[in-house]
Structure 1
Amino acid sequence: MPHTSTPRPSVGRIVHYLSHGTPARPDGSQAFPPQCRAAIVTEVDPDDPDRVGLQVFNPTGNFMRPLAAGGSSRDEGQEQGGTWHWPERV
């Protein structure tokens, strides 16, 4: 029987982080729209396992989003900047 439960994040797992992008211009466009970036889970909130601390890898440098600074919540299909999701299968 196949395993059907949703995986839980744990330290060392690779996830995707959706960047915020630059602020919207008056016409609604953005100079840099949100982008998916590779990230590694560095810590997991014991009270909310879908909220994690991340090390995000950008082409121009690394970005830390620790739990102490709010961490990142799991994206529930809303595609909101600052959230994480499991990598898509290709």
Structure 2
Amino acid sequence: MSPSGASQPRPSVGRAVHYVSHGTPVREDGSRAYTSVCRAATVTEVDPQDSDRVGLAVHNPGGTFFHPLAAGGCTHAAVDGEQPPAGGTWHWPEVV
């Protein structure tokens, strides 16, 4: 349940979600070439056993990347405002 008491929607093929990129590894000096950021994504498949695990087409500035269920897919991460979601997860877009 969301804080307002309404249940979250279930993912379905074609829905727009956010994918959290992993970013690049931290260098010895503590910097990173690319940080972990939210990217636009489209649900391409939903695990019939676990609707929180989906296959995604992730839309990056450099191209589209696929994370199919056959390769492990992506799991849902709740966004709580205090901790950023882990890389490799998806969440519903924030309301703006």
TM-score, scaled to structure 2: 0.86
Percent of residue pairs identical: 64
Counterpart residue identity of residue 59, structure 1: P
The RMSD of aligned alpha carbons is 1.6
Matches within 5 A, 1:7-18: 7-18=9-20
Query: Does residue 61 of structure 1 match 2:63?
Result: yes
Q: Partner residue of 2:28? A: 26
What per-residue deviation string (whole Å, max 9, x for no partner) do you get for residues 44-76 of structure 1? 001110000000000010000000000000013
How many pairs were matched up? 89
Q: Partner residue of 1:88? A: 94
Task: Give distance in 1, aligned partners of 2:86 and 2:5.
Answer: 28
**SS of corresponding position for 2:19:** strand
Q: Partner residue of 2:73? A: 71
Tell me, which stretches of 5 or more residues in structure 1 are unaligned? none
TM-score, scaled to structure 1: 0.91
Tell me, which stretches of 5 or more residues in structure 2 are unaligned? none
**SS of corresponding position for 1:68:** helix
